[in-house]
Amino acid sequence: MLKKSKNLRTIKLIMMTLLIMLGLGSIYIKNISARAKQTEKEIDPFCDLQYDYVFIGDSITFRNDWGYFYPDKLLVNSGIDGNKTEQVLERLEKDVYFYHPQKVILLIGINDLRDGIDPNVIASNMEQIILEMKDNLPNTKIYLESIYPINDNISTSYVKKDATNSNILKLNEYYKEIATKNEVTYIDVYSQLLDEKGELNPIYTKDGLHLSLQGYIAVTKELNEYIIK
């Protein structure tokens, strides 16, 4: 009888211990979950964070190390090889709005010309890009770069017949009008990259279209006249 009583007490003690452990475990799990949520919020790099610059465009934007030129700025390179105006328009939310930038530097259109798209269509797409950015980022400064010149004397498959400097100049005039109309800053980089023959200076290019380091230095020097204030 005594042995049975001891066994019952032992069973009750074990059950109480298990209940206590389960209770403590539940509290521990809740605390861990709460801390995890808090930690996730604290380490989320995009939580309530405003970037300084977003550079968006095609390969000419993508292939530059913007962080090298602006080491003290929080920035994103949203350039993508081969992009055209229509593709930039489609990805504004995830590649621009997401970062809540103070300033957006926009360069796009040369691939449209290379594919034979009419400058009027390109200009229409550009205006839509600007209008959507202004609507979604009302406090963000927008800088529209002119399309850069090309040098078709440098043999390359990158330069095609519709991407001529005459067509680029025509499109740049449209861009300038769009910028003025919509109160964004237009930056004439085109004229800063020319040689004495009116072509993209060979020291600024690797293939007649894409820029060398010297080219990016020249571009950055011109951009700084506008975006560093």
**Mean pLDDT in residue range 179-194:** 98
Instruction: Give the per-residue pLDDT at 163.
Output: 87
**Mean pLDDT in residue range 179-202:** 97
**Mean pLDDT in residue range 62-74:** 97
Over residues 115-168, the pLDDT tens digits come to 999 999 999 999 999 999 999 999 999 999 999 999 988 856 566 667 899 999
By mean pLDDT, which of 33-42, 104-113, 146-155, 211-220 is the weakest? 33-42
pLDDT over 70 percentage in the chain: 76
Give the residue from 218, 217, 210 showing the smallest Cα distance to 110. Answer: 210
> What is the band of 34 on the pLDDT scale with cuts at 50, 70, 90?
very low
Give the residue from 154, 141, 144 showing the smallest Cα distance to 201. Answer: 154
**Mean pLDDT in residue range 24-43:** 37
Instruction: Give the per-residue pLDDT at 28.
Output: 38
Does residue 100 have a pLDDT over 80?
yes
Does residue 8 have a pLDDT over 60?
no
Instruction: Tell me the average pLDDT of the chain.
Output: 84
Instruction: Give the per-residue pLDDT at 204.
Output: 97
Over residues 79-93, the pLDDT tens digits come to 999 999 999 999 999
